[in-house]
Structure 1
Amino acid sequence: MRPTNIISWENAKYNIKISYMKAWDARRKAIKVIFGDWEESYKTLCLYYECLIE
């Protein structure tokens, strides 16, 4: 979801208005929870590569 969609959804569901930056931060945190941290993904990259070449 885009931050503008998050703002619209919050306004429709809870009747509150949040700023664009709050929506952006909420989106970033949700992506981190769902997909993991970039640093964690980078650490597993070497392991994934080793599995591919074996």
Structure 2
Amino acid sequence: MNANFPELGLKMEDCMEINWIKSVLYFTGYQKVEPLEVLQDRKTQYKRNFKAK
């Protein structure tokens, strides 16, 4: 990333690599250590709208 976008000034501690299902947990407000079963609960964790591609 720094080679292509040096103006961002990213450091290794700013980044994390996770699989897509764990990213769903992350973007819905759960902690990384939460079990995947929390996604089966149909209650929303937060009230903001979010759209991504």
TM > 0.5 fold call: no
Relative to the length of structure 2, the TM-score reads 0.30
Higher helix share: 1
Greater gyration radius: 1
Greater RCO, CA 8 A, separation 6+: 1
Relative to the length of structure 1, the TM-score reads 0.30
